[in-house]
Amino acid sequence: MPLRRTQVSATGDPYSLHSSTMPRRELLTSSERLELLAFPTDEGELIRLYTLTKTDLAFVRQHRGDHNRLGIAVLMSYLRSPGRVLAGDENPHRPLIDIVGGQLGVPVDVWELYAERDATRRSHLLELLPRLGMEQFGTRHYRSISAWLDSTALQTTRGIVLAQTVVEELRRRLIVLPPVAVIERLCAEAMTRAQRKVFALLTEDLSPEQRIKLDQLLEQREGSRYSALSWLRMPPGAPTPRALLGHIERLNAIRDLGFALDAGQKLHQNRLLQLAREAGQTAVYQLKEYEQARRHGTLVALMIETAAALTDEIVDLDDRLIGSFFTKSKNKYERAFAEQGKAINDKVRLYAKVGAALVDAREQGHDPFAAIEAIVPWDSFSASVKEAAELARDQDFDALSLIGEHYPQLRRYAPALIETLQLRPAPVARELIEAVEVLREMNRDGLRKVPQHAPLGFIRRRWEAYVLGPEGIDRRFYELCVMAELKNSLRSGDVSVAGSRQSRDFEDYLMPHSEFDRRLTQGELHVAVPTTGPAYIEERMSLLRSALAQTDALVREDKLPDAELNSAGLKISPLENSVPKEAEALRDALSSMLPHIKITDLLMEVDRWTGFTRHFTHLKTNEPVKDPALLLTAILADATNLGLGKMAESCPGTSPAKPSWLVAWHIRDETYSKALAEIVNRQHRIPFATHWGEGTTSSADSQRYRAGGRGEAAGQVNAKSGLCNLCNVLVSLICFNRN
C-alpha cells in the first residue's frame, strides 16, 4: 500500500503509515531501531559534532530570546546529526543540549519555554532547511532510494545493514531522515524485490529438462526410503575408500544436473549461503509446496553449496586416509621393532663380546677366528649374522618402506578422485599436477608401467630410494608419492580445487581482471591504497622511514621505553608480572564467596538482565526461541565442544533431537554476534568494567568452534580452551554484577 501524505513537510513527520503498510515480519529489533539513529557516547565525538561555527552563532543570535536561540540551535544540531527532525513532544538528548547551551551561554532550562509553542518549532524548521541545503523526505525520494537500495539488498538479508545503508545515503544526499518505520518499510520492500531477483538470476539459464531433474530431487530415490536430495546431502562418515567413492558419486550426480556450478557467482556469496542454509533446514515436502521460481532457485542454490561441501569433504577424506596410511605404517614399524627388541639386544650383546675378543686377539697376536670360536661356535656365529641381517632396518630407519602395503586401498579410490577433482596448481606445484595427469592417462589407457618421461622433480629425497629402483620407476611408490605430495600441496594452498571453499584458488576471491581493468580505466576503483605497485611500495617505505626516524630520535635521547640500544645491539627489557602475589589470596577469597549453582541458572540470570537470548531468532520466521533453557544447553554444548549428543545425555529430560533442531534453526554466526553485542553493551555500562580500558581491544585464549558443526560426533573436550567467547563474556558480566 502506498504511503499517505498527512501533514506539511515542516512538521518533521511527513508520512504516516497505516498498520497494513507495516512489514509483516519484524525487520529490526527494538535495540536495532534505537541503534539506527543513536547519538555517539564518546564525549569527544559529541563535541566535534555539535560545536557551532562563528556563522552558526551569528545566525542563532539573530533570533530574539534565549529560549528561541537555544531551540533553533538544537533543531539545527539534530538536522546535521543524526539528520532527523526533533519531534514536538520529544526532549532533546541531554549531552547535546548541554554542549549547545554552553556555547550560547544560555541555561538549558529555557527549553521548556521553547517547547510550549510548536508553531515556533515549525517556522524554525522551514527556516533551517534551505539554510542547511536539506530537503524533506518525500515520495520522490522514497522511490529513488528504493531503486538505489536494490543492489545492496542483493548482497544481504540483514535488515539492520540495509537500514544503516539507507540512513547513510540519505545523510549524504542531505535529505531529512523519515521515521524509522518508513525506513523499515522501504528496506522490507527492497528485500522482497531482491528475493525475486535472486531466484530469477539462479534459474534464468535452466532448460525444461533441468527443471524436471531438479524436481526429481524431491522424489524418493529408487531402492531407498530417502529422497534424492537427502541422499546428496548425507554426511561422509568414517574415512574409508567406500565413503570417499560415495561422495564422488554424489558430486558427479550434481554435475549431471547440467547447470553451471559457477552460477552462484551472479550473487553475493552471503546471500547464496543464506538461501542454501535455509533450504538445508527445510523439509522436502515444504520445498515441494514452493512456487516454481522459488523452488527451483532454492534447489539451485542448495546444489551449488552442496557441491562445494562435497568437494571439501572429498579432499578432507583423502587427507585423512593418506594420513592414516602413514600412521598405520609407523605404528606397525614401531610395533615390530619393539617385538624384536629382545632378539636385537641379544645380538648386540653377542657382537659386543665378539668385538672385545677380536680386539684382545689383535693386541695379543692370537688367531682372530679362534678368538670368535672361544665365544660362540662358528656355525652359531654364521647363523647369527644372517639373523642380524633380517633384524636390521633400512639405513634411514624410516617406516616409509611399509607404506606400499596400503597401495591396494589407495587404488580403490585414487583413479576416481583425480578424475573428479579439477586441480589448479601454483607455479611451484606445476610438475606435481603434470604427474597427476600422467596417472590419469595411465588409468584411462590401462597402463601398468610408469612412462619414462613421467615428471620426477617433485619427489623428495625421502621417497627417492623407493620410487626410483634398479628396474626404473616403481608404480606403487610413484603413485603413493604423487598422492601424498598432492595432499600436502592442498594443505599448503599450492594446489587449489575448482568448486571448493576450503581449497579455493586465491584468484577466485579477487575481482576478475577484465572488471578490474574497466574500473581502473573509468576511475571507479575506489580503494584506500595506491593502485600501482611502485606507488604502494613508496607509500609503505615513506611510513617505514618516518617510523625509523622517530625510533632513532627516541634512542638518541634515551627515551625509547623498555628498550636500550648500545654497541651490543638492541636490548628489550623482559616483561614483568604485574599481578601481585596478594591477588591470589584475594581471588581465592572472592571465589569462596560465590555460591555453587548450575551454570544454566547463572546464564538465565544474565538473560534476565540483558535479554540476549531474544537475538537467537528462527532462520525463516525470525521468531525468538520459545525454550531459553534448551537454548542455553545448546550454547554450552558449543562452548565446551562436548557435542549435542553428550550434552543431552548429561541433562535429564533432554533428548538429542531437541537441541539439534534448535541449533539448526536458531544458532548461527549472526545470532551469536547479536547476542554478544547485547552482552558487551551491558557490560560496558557497568562502572567496574572501565578498569579494563575503553573496550576497543580484547584478549582470549579460547579456540574457535563452528556453531552447530558436524564435528560434534567426536565428543572431544578441550579442557584448557573449551569456553567460547560468549561464555567468557557471560562469566565476566556475572562477576561484575556480583561485585
Nearest to 734 by CA among 683, 675, 690: 683
d(C-alpha 702, C-alpha 712), whole Å? 17
Highest mean pLDDT among 474-488, 573-587, 665-679, 695-709: 474-488
Taking only the tens place, the pLDDT of each residue in 585-596 is 888 888 888 878
Please state the rounded mean pLDDT for residues 675-685. 83
Work out the percent of the chain whose per-residue pLDDT is above 90: 36
- What's the confidence (pLDDT) of residue 340? 67
**Distance of alpha carbon 406 from its chain centroid, rounded?**
36
**Residue 311 pLDDT > 90:** yes
Confidence at 708, pLDDT banded by 50, 70, 90:
very low
Going by C-alpha positions, the residue among 531, 536, 529 that lies closest to residue 519 is 531
Single-letter code of the amino acid located at 600:
T
- Say if pTM beats, i.e. exceeds, 0.85: no
Mean pLDDT, residues 501-513 taken together: 82
Each residue's pLDDT tens digit, 268-293: 787 888 888 888 888 888 999 999 99
- Give me the pLDDT at residue 395, please: 52
Helices (H) and strands (E) in the chain, counts: 32, 8
Residue 497 near residue 305 (C-beta atoms within 8 A): no
| Amino acid (1-letter code) at residue 76 | M
Euclidean distance between CA atoms 297 and 319, whole angstroms: 33
Instruction: Please name which of 65, 59, 51 lies closest in space to residue 120, comparing C-alpha atoms.
Output: 65
CA 515 to chain centre: 27
What is the spatial distance between Cα 738 and Cα 602, in angstroms, rounded to a whole number?
A: 11
Q: What is the 3-state secondary structure (H, E, C) of 591-641?
A: HHHCCCCCHHHHHHHHHHHHCHHHHCCCCCCCCCCCCHHHHHHHHHHHHHC
Band (pLDDT 50/70/90 cuts) for residue 394 is low
Q: What single DSSP character describes residue 220? A: B
Using the structure block, give the residue that is written with the C-alpha cell 642380524: 388
pLDDT on residue 164: 93
Q: Is 238 left (phi over 0), alpha (psi -120 to 50) or beta?
A: beta
Task: Characterize 377-416 residue by residue with b for buried, 16 or more Cβ atoms within 10 angstroms of its Cβ, and e for exposed.
Answer: eeeebeebeeeeeebeeeeeebbbebbbebbebbeebbbb
Return the pLDDT at 13: 39
The answer to which of 129-143, 206-220, 533-547, 551-565 has the lowest mean pLDDT is: 551-565
Q: Which of 41-50, 184-193, 228-237 reaches the highest mean pLDDT?
A: 184-193
330 Cα distance to chain centroid? 35
Instruction: Name the β-bridge partners of 570.
Output: 565
Q: Can you tell me the distance from the alpha carbon of 712 to that of 516, in angstroms, rounded to the nearest whole number?
A: 42
Amino acid at 187: C
Using alpha carbons, select from 730, 653, 705, 711 the residue that is nearest to residue 316: 711
Cα–Cα dist 24/192, whole Å: 12
Cell of 579: 599481578
How many alpha carbons lie under 13 Å from residue 135 in its C-beta half-sphere? 11
> Residue 660: which of 706, 712, 620 has the closest Cα?
712
Q: Kindly give, in sequence order, each residue whose CB lies less than 8 Å from that of residue 216, ignoring residues fewer than 6 positions away.
A: 228
**Locate cell 531437541: which residue?**
658
Residue 332 in grid coordinates? 606397525
Closest CA to 601 of 626, 632, 637: 632
Longest dimension (CA), the chain: 130
User: Residue 319 — φ and ψ, nearest 5°?
Assistant: -60, -45
d(Cα 635, Cα 599) in Å, to the nearest integer? 12
pLDDT at 603 over 90: no
Predicted pLDDT of residue 35: 86
C-alpha cell at 410: 589407495
**What is the C-alpha to C-alpha distance for residues 603 and 458, in angstroms, rounded to an integer?**
55
> Residue 564 belongs to what H/E stretch?
strand 563-566
Instruction: To the nearest 10°, report the CA torsion of 496, 501, 506, 508.
Output: 110
Which set of grid coordinates corresponds to residue 28? 529490526
- What are the backbone dihedrals phi and psi of residue 512, each rounded to the nearest 5 degrees, phi first? -55, 145
Integer Cα distance of 728 and 422 in angstroms: 43
CA distance 493 to 508: 13
Residue 522: per-residue pLDDT: 84
Helix (H, G, I), strand (E, B) or coil at 473: strand
Specify the range with the lowest mean pLDDT, choosing from 91-105, 306-320, 655-669. Answer: 655-669
Q: Is the pLDDT of residue 397 over 70?
A: no
Query: What gap in Å lies between CA 607 and CA 444, rounded to an integer?
Result: 62
Rounded Cα gap, residues 632 and 599, in angstroms: 9
Among 118, 128, 31, 42, which residue's Cα sits nearest to residue 77? 128
User: Which one, of 317, 198, 320, 298, lies nearest residue 251 by Cα?
Assistant: 317
Is pLDDT above 70 for 214? yes
Cell of 427: 607455479
Rounded to the nearest integer, the mean pLDDT of the chain is 82
